[in-house]
A and B are shown apart, each in its own frame.
Chain A
Amino acid sequence: MPRGVWFSVGVVLLFVVLPFVYGNHDLLFSMMMYLVLAQGINVLFGFTGYLPFGYVGFFGAGAYGMSLAILLLHFPPFAALIAGAAAAVLVALVLAPLLRLSGAYFAIASLAASEVLYYVISNPHLTSITQGPYGINLAAVYDSSASYAVMVAVLALALGMVVYLRNSRTGLALQAIREEPVSAGFAGVNVVRERTRAWLMSAALAGLAGGAYAWHVSVFYPKPVFDLNISVFAIVFTLFGGVATLSGPVVGTLLLYGLYNWIGISQPQYFQLVFGVVIVALVLFLPNGLVSLLRRVGANVP
C-alpha cells in the first residue's frame, strides 16, 4: 500500500462523518475547499517550486466554467463540474508559457494573469456569455448536499494525486526539477513535459474546487471567485503545514483555517493579532512548516 493512503482515507472519512455531528456544513465545505486548494498549491509549489500567486484564476475559471456549462449548455451539474475543471485546464494550457519564468517573476505573472481573467469574465460587453459583472445565479440547480458530496470526492482526488506524486517516478522527477532542472534534464527527465503536467494537474484541482464552490453557493459575483485572498489563504495554509508532503497542507489548513474561524467567531477583536502572531512565529521558528517539527523528532510523516 503506498504511503499516505490510510491518512488520506482518514481525512476523507472525517469529512464524511462530521456533517452528522456538526451542523455548520458551510464551515466544513470551506475547509475542504481550502484543503483541495492547498493540495493544488502543494502539487505545483511543493513538487516543482513554482509559487502561483494567481492560483485563484483557476478557481474562478472552474466556477465560471461550471456555471456557464449549466446556464448556456444546460449541462447537468456533474457534467458541468467536469466542464469547470476543463475550463481551468484550458486556461492553464494558455498560460503554460508562464512556466518559462521562475521565482518572483512567475508569481507576479500568474497574479497578473488571474487579474486579466477576472477582467475578461466581468467585462460588461461579454454579459450575454459570462453574465459580465452582474453575477451568476444557479438557484435552479442548488443542492447543498450534493455539492458537499462532490467536494468530498474532489478532496479524495486531491489527496490521491499527492499520494501518487509522493510515491511515483513522476513525483520524483518533479522534485528533481525543483532542486535542479538542468541536472534533471541531463538525467533524462523531460523537464517541460513534467512541469506542464504538474501545472495542469494543479489547475484541474482548483477548477474542480471552483466548480463545486459555485454549485454550493449558487449565487455569486465575479470578484469573490477571483479574490486574491483565496490564493493567499491556500498558500499560507500550505506553507504553515509544510510543502511537498501529504499531511502538511492538511494539518496547515485544519489548524489555521480552524483557528481563523474559531477566533473570528469567538474573539473577533483579537483576530488579526492572533493570526499575525501565529504566522510570524511559524516563519521565524518553523520555516519548513509544522510537519518539519514532527520530522525533527523522528516521526514518519506522510
Chain B
Amino acid sequence: MSLSSVSRLWLFAGAVLLMTLVTGIPSRAAGIPGEIRIGTLYADSGPFATSSKSQLQGLKFWVDEVNRAGGAYVRAYHRRIPVKLITYNDRSSTTTAATLYNQLITQDHVNILAADFGSVLTSVAVPIAQEHRMLLFDQTGTGATFFSTKNPYIVLTSLPSSAEWPYSLADFLKSQPQITRAALLYATNDFTGSQAQTLRQRLHGSHVKLVFDHGVPTSTSSYALLLHNVQAARPQALIEFGYPNNDIAFLHDLQASGMKFNMVFTIFPGQLFALMESSVGPKTLAYTYTYPTPPLLVYNRVNYGPGLDNFRRAFRSAGGKEPNFLNIAGYNTGLVIQKTLATAASLQQLAMRRSIVSFSGKLHTLNGTFRIDPATGAQTGETLPVGQFIPAGKGLAVRMLYPPEVATGRPVYPAQ
C-alpha cells in the first residue's frame, strides 16, 4: 500500500515532532544544574580563625535553611535548586588562600565565590576573581583599595567600606557642643587607619579639635604609657580604633590605670559583645561608646529573610548559642546570594552583578539596608550608628545615640 504524498508529509512532520520532544526535553533538563555550588574559604587556625569560623557558621546556617526549603529559587531556571557549599581551610595564610580561591574557580567550577573573613584574606581574592571574571561576594573585607570603577567583579555584602565606618561617629562628635577636644589612638593597619583618616577629615574645620592623634602597631598589647600621654593632652573624648586584641588591651589598661575620660569609644564591643564582655568585664565597658551592630542593633522590620529576633531564635535552637555579628554577617551574605539567584536572568557573573545593582537599596535584612555603590560594589548601606553601653541589672544594655532616626536616648556624658 502506498501512502499519498500528503500522508507522507504528515508522517514526516509527526516524526520530527516526536524526535524533537524525545531529544529536546532531556537536553533542556540537562542544562539545569543539579546544584548551585558556592565556594568559600575559612581559617581554622591563625589570627583570623575566631572571626572566620563565626562567619562561615552563619553562611552554613543559611545553606542548611535554604536546602531544607528545597533549595534556592533560581530565576534563570525558574525552579528551586539545592545549594552546595564548598569550603577550604586557608589557615589564615594569604598564599594558601590565593591557591584555594583559584582551586574553587578552576577545579570546582563554583557558580558563586564568597571571600573569607576580613581584608587581609580577601585581598588576594580580588585580583583572582577579576582575572577569572567571577563576581566576588566580599563578606567583611572592607579595605578601600578593593573597590574601583575598573573592577565590576566585587560586591561588599555585610559591612560598609571601612573608610565609611566613622561617618556617624564624626557627626555625633560634632553634634555635642560640650566636646571640643578629642584624642585619636588607632592601630596602624588598613582597617583602622582608613577610619582614622576619615575621622580626621570629617572633624576638620569643626569645633572638635584633635589634641592627640597617634598610630600604634596593630600588635600593641600595652597601652599604659600611651594613656598617660593621652591624659596629658586633656581630651574630653578618647577614640580608640583597633582590632579586638587592641580594644581588649586598651580597655584593660584603661581600667587598671584608674583614669577617667568623659567619653571613650572602641570598635569591637559593638561587634563581639560576648567576647569583649567576658574579656574586660561589664564594669569596664559601662558608659563606653561603640558602633553597635546586629545583634545589639536590632533590625526586625525586614523585607527579606527573618528579622533579627526570629533569626536569633532559629540560630539558638540549631546551635545552642547566641549569634554574634559575624554569624549574622555570614548569614546576610547568604541572603544577598539568595536574592541574587532569585533575580538574575542568568548565572553569568555580570548578570548577577547587574541584578544586585537592581535590588540595591531595596533589600532590608537583619543586617540593615543592603545598598552598594553601583560603580564600585562597595557597601554604602548597613551604616554603623553610635551607641553607648548603659548598666542594666547585672549586665549592660546598648542605648542608640546617633543618627537621630535610630536614637533611643541621650548620652550619659560625662561617663560615670
**Interface of A toward B, CB cutoff 8 Å:** 23-27, 30, 33, 119, 122-124, 132-135, 137, 139, 142, 144, 217-221, 223-224, 227, 229-230, 261, 264-265, 268, 271-272
Contact = CB atoms under 8 A, between A and B. Distances in A.
A41 to B, nearest CB: 16
B131 A144 contact: yes
Interface centre among A24, A25, A272 (most CB of B within 10 A): A24
Contacts of B217: 119, 122
A132 B188 contact: yes
B64 interface: no
Given A133-B189, A133-B190, A220 B100 contact: no
Contacts of B103: 24, 27, 265
B203 interface: no
Contacts of B194: 134
Interface of B: 44-45, 88-89, 91, 93-96, 98-103, 106-107, 119-120, 123-124, 126-128, 130-131, 143, 145-146, 148, 150-151, 188-190, 193-194, 215, 217-218
A265 B190 contact: no
Nearest to B215: A124
A26 B151 contact: no
A268 B189 contact: no
Given A30-B98, A137-B145, A264-B88, A219 B123 contact: yes
A301 to B, nearest CB: 29
Chain B interface, DSSP helix/strand/loop, else mixed: helix
Which 8 A-B residue pairings sit nearest by Cβ, starting from the closest?
A23-B106, A26-B102, A224-B94, A268-B89, A124-B188, A133-B188, A137-B145, A124-B215
Given A142-B131, A219-B146, 16 more contacts: A23-B107, A24-B103, A25-B106, A26-B128, A30-B95, A134-B145, A134-B189, A135-B123, A139-B127, A218-B127, A219-B126, A219-B127, A264-B88, A264-B91, A268-B88, A271-B91
A223 B119 CA distance: 12
A230 B44 contact: no
A25 B193 contact: no
Nearest to A225: B94
B188 A139 contact: no
A45 to B, nearest CB: 21
Given A27-B102, A124-B188, A219 B96 contact: no
B44 to A, nearest CB: 7
A265 B100 contact: yes
A100 to B, nearest CB: 30
B193 A124 contact: yes
B190 to A, nearest CB: 5
A25 B105 CA distance: 11
Interface centre among A132, A142, A144, A264 (most CB of B within 10 A): A264
A123 B188 CA distance: 8
A217 B194 CA distance: 22
Contacts of A27: 99, 102-103
A221 B127 contact: no
Given A132-B193, A224-B120, A217 B98 contact: yes
B95 A221 contact: no
A261 B88 CA distance: 10
Contacts of B101: 26
